[in-house]
Chains A and B, each alone.
Chain A
Amino acid sequence: MGSVGYRRAVTAKARKPAVEGWFTDDEANPALLGSRCTSCGTYSFPREKTLCKNPSCMGRTFDEVELSRRGTIWSFTNACYQPPPPYVPVSDPFEPFCIAAVELADEHMVVMGQMVDGVTVEDLHAGMEVEIVLDTLFEDEENEYVVWRWKPVAAQGGPK
C-alpha cells in the first residue's frame, strides 16, 4: 500500500467547509452530518430539511445526527482524467484519485466520497474498512476549502 495521508493546513488561510452543514468542523472527530426523521427514524444524507422521503411518512422535522465514522467499501473506482468544472483542479498535471462508495452499517446506506491522496485502486477491495477524515479539497487566495474523504483503516491484517 502506498503512503496514505491527508494534507494539513500549511498556510494561515482560513479553513472553510466546501459545503455548509454536511460534516462536522472538528478534524479530530470528523463525521458526516445526516438527518433522522423524528417520525419514522429513517436516515438521510445530505440532511433532509423539508419532507421525509419515506413515502409512508409525512414527517417534517428532523434531528441532525452524526453518521457512522467507519464503513466498508461497497465499490470503488478512480478518475484518470480531470473532471470538468465545477471540479477545481488541485495540481497540474492532473493526478488521478480514487472514489469509493462506502456502506454504513447502522444507517443501512451507502455514501460516496473521494479516497485520501496516495490511495490507488490496487489498494482497495469491496468489504474493506474505511473511516472518514476531513481534508483540503482546494484553495483559493483567501481560504482552504475542506471536504470529507475516506481513508483505509490501518492494520487490516495480511495482504489480500
Chain B
Amino acid sequence: MSNDVAILGVGMHPWGKWGRNFIEYGIEAAQNALADAGLEWSDIDYVAGADTIRNGYPGFIAGATFSQALGWKGNRVSSCYAACASGAQALSIARAQILAGLSDVALVVGADTTPKGFFAPVGGDRPDDPDWLRFRLMGATNPAYFGLYARRRMEVYGATEDDFAAVRVKNGRHGLENPYARYRKAFTREEVLESAMVADPLRLLEICATSDGGAAVVLSSMDYARKHTTDPARITAISTVTPTYPEPVIEMPNFATDSASVVPAPARPFRDSIAHAAYEEAGIGPEDLDLAEVYDLSAALELDWYENIGLCAPGDAEKLLRDGDTTIGGKIPVNPSGGLSCFGEAIPAQAIAQVCELTWHVRGTAGERQVEGARVGITINQGLFGHGSSVIVQR
C-alpha cells in the first residue's frame, strides 16, 4: 500500500529581514500555494501549522493562527513544534490525516520572524534546562557545535578551509537564480575566507543567518489529485525518526553524549538513519536521486550531509564537492535553491521550503536553477533533541 500523497501546490514568501508579523509571511505563502494548486481557501479541509516559539502565543498555535488569518471556516487543524524539523512534522501530520481518509486536501504552512544575531534560549532563568545551561556554563552557542563538527572533518578527513568556502561559493551561485533567497550574491572564495571568524574554523559567511520567511504546501490524496490534475509531484516518504541509543555524536544543546560503555553505538549514525528511513519508505536508494536539499546550518555541515544521505563514503564528501558533482549541472546537485547559505533559517518554514524547491525541479519549473530531468529528490534536516526530518519528492 503506497503512502503517496500529491503535492498540488507550493508557495513561498521571500526570505529576508523585515521584522514584520510572521502571520503576514504565512498568509502570502499560503495564498501562493493555493494559487499554484488552482484551489481556493474554501477547498482546504485541514490546516497543519508549523509553530514559531519566538513570537508569543499566536506562534504556539500556528495552525489556528493561520486558519484565523485566512478566515475561520471550521476546518480541522493541528499545530506542532519540532525545532528545525517543524515543517516536516507538519507535513507528516497532514499526510497522515490524508492517508487515514480524514482529509482530502490539506494546507501545510510555517512562517517566522526572527531576532538578530545568535539564537538565544527562550527568556527566563531555567537552570534545569540544558538549552539554558549550555550558554551559562560553557558559552556554547549554536555555531560552537557546528564548529566542533567542522573541525572534526579537518582532523579526521583532512578537510580544509578551502573546502568549506567552496560550499558557500557553490551555494551562492545557485542562490543568484532564486528570487526567494535572502542573499543573492556570488561570493568569492576570498570574500568567504576574509569574513570574520565566529567559531573556529567557521566564518561568518559559512554560518547561516536567521531570517524571516514563510512557505506552504497544498497536499491531497491521490484520488483527489486524479480529479484535479495529471501527474502531480508526490511525497513518497517522510522520515521523522529519533536517534538509537547510544548516540555517540555530541548534539546541540547537550553537554555530553550517551555512553557506549554498555550498549555499543548503533552501526548507522543518527543522521544517516534519518535518510535511511526515508529511502526505505519510498523504496529507493541514494543512487536514484537527481537532487538533494540539505540543511547547511554551516558550510561544513553540508559535507557531513553528503555522507549521511549516502552520496559517498565517510570522508569523501570533499572530493564530491571539488569534482563539481554537487553543483547544478553536476551528477547530484545539492542545494540548488542556494540552501541556508542563501536563505538563512526561518525555523518552521525551512523544511517546507526544501519541499517547495524539490517540487519545482521535478515539475521542470525551476527556471535557471533547473536540474535537468529531475524526477527524484530528497530533503534532509534535523531538529534539536532528536527530531528526524527528511522528505522524498518524486514525479
Contact = CB atoms under 8 A, between A and B. Distances in A.
Interface residues of A, number: 45
Given A77-B199, A77-B200, A79-B141, A109 B152 contact: no
A110 B138 contact: no
Interface in B112-147: 117-118, 120-121, 125, 127, 132-141, 144, 147
B197 interface: yes
Interface stretch (B212-220, B258-266, B367-375): B258-266
Given A45-B256, A77-B147, A109-B257, A88 B199 contact: no
Contacts of A45: 255-256
B255 A112 contact: yes
Given A42-B263, A86-B125, A112-B250, A80 B196 contact: yes
B199 A110 contact: no
A71 B118 CA distance: 30
Contacts of B196: 80
Interface of B is mostly: loop
A80 B200 contact: yes
Interface residues of B, number: 46
A127 B250 CA distance: 16
Interface of A is mostly: loop
Contacts of B147: 77-78, 99
B155 interface: yes
B198 interface: yes
Contact of B141 (A84, A101, A109, A126): A84
Interface stretch (A7-15, A53-61, A151-159): A53-61
Given A84-B120, A125-B155, 11 more contacts: A18-B137, A19-B136, A42-B261, A42-B262, A43-B261, A44-B259, A75-B148, A83-B118, A83-B135, A107-B261, A121-B151
7 contacts: A40-B262, A54-B262, A74-B152, A77-B200, A83-B139, A85-B120, A108-B261
Interface of A: 18-19, 40-46, 53-56, 74-81, 83-88, 97, 99, 101, 106-114, 121, 125-127, 137, 147
| Nearest 10 A/B pairs, CB to CB | A77-B147, A126-B155, A84-B120, A43-B259, A108-B260, A42-B262, A83-B139, A75-B152, A109-B259, A75-B148
